[in-house]
Amino acid sequence: AWNSRRAHQLKAYVDWIYTIFPFEKDFYVKYNCHNVTYVGNPSVEEVALYHQQHVVSKPATATKPIIALLPGSRPQEIRRILPTMLALIPHLPDYQFVVAAVSELRQELYQIAIETVGVQVIYDQTYDILSRASTAIVASGTATLETALFKVPQVVVYQTDRLTYFIAKHLVKLRYISLVNILAGKEVVRELIQHQLTTKNLLKAMEEIIYNTDFRQEQLGNYAAIRD
């Protein structure tokens, strides 16, 4: 996506390419890389294995449905995205907000969430959180696919600095940024990118998957097609 010409380098040094996304095979063929095999995605097996090993039940202390907040795994992402996620709390008082945090990052990145009433910050248990969530707000990345595999309706968000976004807009020729939409070839989940990521827009997108039953069911149906 960032530099498609690297396909030529790959062809020069690699005898066979095994891909984890079906669209990658067609991409490489365009660059005359014909020794390409799509082998499936490891996230599918990992989520299936999780379900085999865990009997999921709602915690006895849970009195409200859970909105999972997955703000990404990079410090810059978390600093920019997490405050907007947390801004929804006063607007959705009937929900419990749970942040999927990463222990290898500095705790101060999550301090705003730790100090916010009505928020749980749980480290290194993303699958456990998704298994209990009713909806999710997810930073664009592998987590969007994992959320779909857990059958959790989601809104995808992303925000970076202006220069990085400017460069990306000129280099990355993709209609969508979330793996869910890329795999489906259409808008399955709402994407709020850069200046679109505001509290108002995020609340509207969340209310759509919470209260619009038809939209929610359509999203889940598309998840099934992606999984298959």
The predicted-structure confidence for 146-191, as pLDDT tens digits, reads as follows 999 999 999 999 987 676 666 666 666 678 889 999 999 999 999 9
Of 55 and 105, the structure prediction assigns the larger pLDDT to: 105
What's the whole-number mean pLDDT along residues 201-214? Answer: 97
Cβ neighbours around 149 below 10 Å, total: 23
Give the pLDDT score at 33: 86
Instruction: Please determine, for residue 77, whether its predicted confidence score (pLDDT) is greater than 60.
Output: yes
State how far the Cα of 21 lies from the Cα of 181, in Å rounded to an integer.
13
pLDDT at 9: 86
pLDDT tens string 8-62 = 888 889 999 999 998 888 888 888 888 999 999 999 999 999 999 987 655 545 5
Name the 3-class secondary structure at 4: coil
